[in-house]
Structure 1
Amino acid sequence: MLRKLPAKTLSADPALIAVRSHFAGTGAALCNAAGLIDGDAGTARVLRLMSDLREATCLDRGIRRRLVNLHRLLSLDPVFDGFEPNLSSWVLLDPDSPEVEQICISTDRLFDLLVEIGERDERQAALAQTLREQDAA
């Protein structure tokens, strides 16, 4: 059974909060999309990621990599980290079907989340650099 991620969290990491919130709202759709593309392995990939997000204290490199890999899977960019999913079920889907439309929407939303995370990282790095320069002066 798919458990919802808490949207409100005690984590101080704003990127983790954003990802948890995203998955709280779209986790089921992402599971379905990954399942349509890569079968049970795709669904399991999303469920493991959601489990990791529940236990995480920060958005570490491993979780970030799995988020990018999930986006690549949903984007049908099939080879990442030496892994090549089974895309044979994809051939059976009608491009005009509601399932394909949902996959596209889920993929676009995940991309927006990845962009948001990157922008947060850039702002945080700029702030850290400014603070270092102030401390040095």
Structure 2
Amino acid sequence: MLRNLPTKTLSADPRLASVRAHFAEHGTALCNAAGLIDADAGTARVLRLMSTLREASRLDRATRRRLVDLHRLLSLDPVVDEFEPDLSFWSPIDPASPEVEELCLLTDRLYDLLVEIGELDEDQDALALALRAQDAA
């Protein structure tokens, strides 16, 4: 059984708060979708990510990379290189199945989350530059 992620976080990182809220709402569906594609390994990937989010105080680079990797998995778009296993053993998915529509919606929502995180980065960078300019004056 999945434990809920905290949505009211003590972290000052708005990106972490956004990701936690997303996984609190869609975590179970993401586990199911990853499991549909990559069996137990896919489910375990999402559970490890959720565990990391539960314990995190900020959204670090490694966690962001795992979010992107999850999006790639759900998009059925793996990039196999020397550091990644061969994913040719994925379960075939019938394009006409109702799970595919849900998978597409989850993938789109995860993409929107990644875009939101990027926009928050830009806002934070702009604020940091403004504070530096103000300190210099």
TM class by shorter chain equals over 0.9
Alpha-carbon separation, structure 1, partners of 2:51 and 2:109: 20
Give the TM-score of the pair, scaled to structure 1: 0.93
Q: Secondary structure at the match of 2:2?
A: coil
1:69-117 Cα distance to aligned partner (Å, 9 max, x none): 000111111125632434531x2x2212111111111100000000000
Percent identity, aligned pairs only, is 72
What's the CA shift for 1:12? 1.1
Q: In the alignment, residue 32 of structure 1 is paired with which amino acid?
A: N
Q: C-alpha root-mean-square deviation of aligned residues, in Å?
A: 1.3
Partner of 2:62: 62
Q: Secondary structure at the match of 2:122?
A: helix
Q: Is the 8 A contact 1:7 1:24 kept in 2?
A: yes
Alpha-carbon separation, structure 2, partners of 1:85 and 1:58: 31
Say if 2:108 is the partner of 1:127: no
Q: Is the 8 A contact 1:33 1:103 kept in 2?
A: yes
Partner of 1:38: 38
Q: In the alignment, residue 123 of structure 2 is paired with which amino acid?
A: R
How many residues are paired up?
135
Give the TM-score of the pair, scaled to structure 2: 0.93
Partner of 1:53: 53
Alpha-carbon separation, structure 1, partners of 2:22 and 2:128: 26
Query: Pairwise mapping of residues 74-113 of structure 1 onto structure 2 (< 5 A)?
Result: 74-79=74-79, 82-83=83-84, 84-89=86-91, 91=92, 93-113=93-113
